[in-house]
Structure 1
Amino acid sequence: MSSIVSGLRALLPTRADYRGVRTSWRADLLAGLTVGIVALPLALAFGVSSGVGAEAGLVTAIVAGLVAAVFGGSNVQVSGPTGAMVVVLAPIVMLHGVGAVAVVSLMAGVLVLAAGVLRLGRAVSYIPWPVIEGFTAGIGIIIFLQQVPAALGVQASGHSSNAVVATWQVITEASWPAAFLPLAAVIGIALIMVLLGRITPSVPASFVAILVVSVIAVLAGSPLATIGTLPNSLPAPSLPALDPGMLVSLAGPAFAVAALAAIESLLSARVAATLADTGQVNADRELFGQGLASIASGIFGGMPATGAIARTAVNVRSGARTRLAAVIHALALLLVVLVAAPVVGAIPLAALSGVLMMTAARMVSPSTIGRVLRSSRSSVAVFSITLFVTVAFDLVIAVGIGLAVAAFFALRTLSRMSDATREELPGVAEPGDERIALFTVHGSLFFGAADRLVEQIADEPDVSVVVLRLADVQIIDATGAHALAELVGALERRGITVLIKGVRPEHQALLEQLGVISALRHPNHLFSELPPAISHARDHARRAAAAS
């Protein structure tokens, strides 16, 4: 009981979280304001793009950003709505309506919170690099394609849930030359962001670009569609309607959202830890905090949240050292809602699409893709398959398939490193040595290599004794032990004596349980040293020769 209590206590905030605030509060304050400016257009854009509206994006950035900052496992992680989450939420809104998003946020939050309590935080370390890069590039492509309707002034409703198909439908339905106006706004956003990024990288380019394009649109009396009226306060917290039938139908989407939230948040926290010395990341606490953040967001009518890699990187590079920076970021966005909601409502939707298109383009990094393509063929295959499945089908399924393909190649490589080689007997040769086969088994004796190793050993003709050296075997699983037991039994039935030398202590119990030891003709045929085993083998060979 005490261990459970101490484990839960490790997931909760402590005074140590703010130990450095006395010396870093100025840097944290500046970093929080900077990342708040960067987060504003992204929160609006992700809310609009997901189909739940700009208000939900702001609510998520404020509520979830604050809760995750306090309860999360990273000192500098910035959380809120993200592009990857938009990719998952857009089909949910299309199939189940806007009201389902808050329910999904609650359900997914509970799942992520439970994953933290169950200590599953380190699971993300098992995701291979090519899977992560294929997943990220695929998300970038989907986000870019999802912005095409707003960029061409076409209503997004009524199109396919597949981004590629929907993009083609939008292009064929676009009304030209009316589509040139929103397209010009998108191009203007892109040009400003690229130029500012090269001239003054420290300036929040997306914020400046949206400000410039919005002012021009207002002064010119442009007919561009805008965000519209936004409330000047946060909505009152309330639980969404939880219909049992809806909970069942949303179970699959909620699991997909939870998996994505966990993966993206842990990856973002891990990236943040490499950018600066800001303390260790508690992966389990990060899941716990992100789960609470999504639950709180759903209660306030927001959407599921995750750690945001781009905003977290801005936070760290702006000098953030403690959680205060992420808290300030959330409070700065709240101030925008309270003071500047009418101004924000005048932002053209095409301008938000331009920001997301640029964000998406940066997710598809040519240099990273080049590094993948220059690596091994298996990595290229894993990356390509993950990317294709992400764009063509579903990003959570893509991670599963990518992991399966990566595991296949890893097991194939591991099995190729496993072999059994016949060696010369040590010492001076004696008559009858030709009837003794000494095999050294290298690598791993597991389900991917067991049959091939058994075939190598079993095919030796004209021998009366087989000595198996297992000291170099690193891994033995149940399949390998079972195959070894069958090999020993088959050789013994053919009249061939089997001696085993060098069983590791960690393998002893498994070999005994699966019958390898009992398959030997005599318990004394198990040796810890090679010379006694060879001497015993020569005795058997001499007796076999005499009998023949």
Structure 2
Amino acid sequence: MRVRLKPVMRVRRADLFASIVVFLVALPLCVGVAVASGVPAELGLITGIVGGLVAGVLPGSRLQVSGPAAGLTVLVYEAVRAYGVGALGVFVLAAGAVQMGLGVLRLGRWFRAVSVAVVQGMLAGIGLVLIAGQLYALGDASMDVPGSGVGKLAGLVSLPGAVDPVALALGVGTIAVLVAWPRWRAGARVLPAPLVAVGLASGVTGVGGLDVRRVEVRGLVDAVRVPAADDFGLLMDVGVIGTVLAFALIASAETLFSSAAVDRMHSGPRTDYDKELIAQGAGNAVCGVLGALPMTAVIVRSSANVRAGARTRASRVLHGVWLLLFAALVPAALGVLPVAALAGLLVHAGAKLVPVREVGSLWREHRGEAVVFGVTAVAIVATNLFEGVLVGLGLAVAKTAWDISQVHVQVQESLEEDALVVRVSGNATFLRLPKLLDALEALPAERDVRLDLGGVRHLDHACAAALAGWAAGHQRKAQVRDVVRP
């Protein structure tokens, strides 16, 4: 009797090729996001490795790729600045637990109910703060980078006198390559733009012996910091809890929005949102244990995976293997990467987060949504990511409540009853109470009134109390006849 062992994961040639493409895209992005977040470059690679080897093997989405994302850079930088790199592991581990809880409770689908204007505003705000912060690194500025978004923007006034022209040229050249390279389709199919841009900048730096700041190399093992028992005491702080929730919710939202975009790019099985949340939570829990950056599904790497012809999850798992081999075998290669080039990479990524083209059409077609978008972006720049998103969500809820709270008041003369008939229809809520009372108080005080509420779909307590008060006051002057209630 023969026993045939079924392979755990079959690797097709298309998946192998796609994994190499994704690895080449992910490598400079992992390092760049880590440096911009204020942590050792190796921590970005660790997150990319975990994204492949842990989240990559779990069910949810087959083709989207996880790793450190530019969208969380601002939040991580603020957390590291406030609590130190040592506390990062606790934050990420707790955020992963929250994500797994959301997935187990089957709350993943509710992320699709978030206003698109809030999401776009969030990404725009992140992009603006990211660009403002990376402009300092773009020219190896000899000045401290302000902590707040407003401070970063205000500091740009004095930036020209503090930059290194050589580093600035290197960073601007990196951005130019990122913009121009995809236009050469034949070349872009072979090598991704981020790798070409950073590779050229590194080559120019090495060959020319340029005296610019480079990535500091510590080694993969030395960069790992397992959280100590005392570190978990930080979770008793209210501010830390807010940071953890921000990590979990924003990473989950970005992951699930990426899932929706990736699903539109292929005809295979759709994403199970709840399972994907559990997979992301498990990956972030492992990242937290290792003291690494938080992970999320990233649309740039995911789209590269799909376009490269990936068919199964093997491609995203293998990309994690290649990152691990690179970090373990040639860690010194990170030391040749100029920081200005990585800053250029992230300035380009931040610019892509700002939906410039969509703003005009949004203003023409949905001005209320455009206001929500703008307020969310400005609030993030003015305060921080978590508070800015809360402001955007609150405004979106208020706008929705205003939109659905439509009330119509129609006054007609009733010859049969010798009275005025006031017909109210729609949703009578406190938001429309001024309009309703203005119409009623404009009625002649000496006339009898019949109030017909048969067309009211919803009458809240504030409106009911106000109508009762108006009726009592009008009865003393005339008569309010049978009130027809909904």
When normalised by structure 1's length, the TM-score is 0.77
| Equivalent residue for 1:208, pick from 189, 192, 196 | 196
Q: Deviations over 1:191-213 (max 9, x none)?
A: 22222111124330110111122
> Match of 2:336, SS?
coil
Identity among equivalent positions (%) equals: 30
Q: Does 1:420 align with 2:404?
A: no
Instruction: Check conservation: 1:81, 1:304, Cα contact below 8 A.
Output: yes
Match of 2:46 in 1: 59
Matches within 5 A, 1:141-152: 141-152=128-139
Cα gap change, 1:297/1:438 in structure 2, threshold over 3 Å: closer, same or farther? same
Match of 1:443 in 2: 426
> Match of 2:430, SS?
coil
Cα gap change, 1:476/1:348 in structure 2, threshold over 3 Å: closer, same or farther? same
Q: Does 1:36 align with 2:20?
A: no
Deviation at 1:39, TM superposition (A): 0.9
Match of 1:364 in 2: 354
- Structure 2 spans left out of the alignment, 5+ residues: 1-6
Matched pairs, number: 473
Match of 2:183 in 1: 198
Instruction: Check conservation: 2:407, 2:432, Cα contact below 8 A.
Output: yes
Matching residue's letter, 1:165: G
Matches within 5 A, 1:1-20: none
Q: Does 1:69 align with 2:56?
A: yes
Matching residue's letter, 2:262: A
Q: In 1, distance between residues paired with 2:181 and 2:482?
A: 75
- Structure 1 spans left out of the alignment, 5+ residues: 1-17, 426-430, 504-548
Deviation at 1:337, TM superposition (A): 1.5
Tell me which of the two structures has the higher relative contact order, counting C-alpha pairs closer than 8 angstroms and 6 or more residues apart: 2
Q: Deviations over 1:317-359 (max 9, x none)?
A: 3233433332222222122213332223321222211111111
Q: In 1, distance between residues paired with 2:462 and 2:48?
A: 50
Matching residue's letter, 1:433: E
Match of 1:316 in 2: 306
Cα gap change, 1:456/1:297 in structure 2, threshold over 3 Å: closer, same or farther? same
Deviation at 1:227, TM superposition (A): 1.8
Match of 1:79 in 2: 66
Q: Deviations over 1:37-82 (max 9, x none)?
A: 1111000000111011110000011113433333363232221111
Match of 1:217 in 2: 205
Deviation at 1:87, TM superposition (A): 0.3
Matching residue's letter, 1:434: D
Q: In 2, distance between residues paired with 1:165 and 1:346?
A: 31
Instruction: Check conservation: 1:297, 1:303, Cα contact below 8 A.
Output: yes
Match of 1:49 in 2: 36
Q: In 2, distance between residues paired with 1:167 and 1:324?
A: 43
> Match of 1:276, SS?
coil
When normalised by structure 2's length, the TM-score is 0.86
Cα gap change, 1:234/1:25 in structure 2, threshold over 3 Å: closer, same or farther? farther
Instruction: Check conservation: 1:451, 1:483, Cα contact below 8 A.
Output: no
Cα gap change, 1:443/1:241 in structure 2, threshold over 3 Å: closer, same or farther? same
Match of 1:265 in 2: 255
RMSD (Å) for aligned C-alpha atoms: 3.2
Residues 237-246 or 63-72, more deviating: 237-246
Matching residue's letter, 1:432: E
> Match of 1:38, SS?
helix
> Match of 2:280, SS?
helix
Deviation at 1:155, TM superposition (A): 5.9
> Match of 1:147, SS?
helix
Match of 1:432 in 2: 416
Matching residue's letter, 2:70: G
Cα gap change, 1:482/1:289 in structure 2, threshold over 3 Å: closer, same or farther? farther
Matching residue's letter, 1:207: L
Q: In 2, distance between residues paired with 1:180 and 1:317?
A: 38
Cα gap change, 1:473/1:168 in structure 2, threshold over 3 Å: closer, same or farther? closer
| Equivalent residue for 2:386, pick from 396, 403, 415 | 396
> Match of 1:345, SS?
helix
| Equivalent residue for 1:188, pick from 169, 173, 176 | 173
Q: Radius of gyration: which is bigger?
A: 1
Q: In 2, distance between residues paired with 1:341 and 1:191?
A: 27
Matches within 5 A, 1:302-313: 302-313=292-303
Matching residue's letter, 2:113: Y
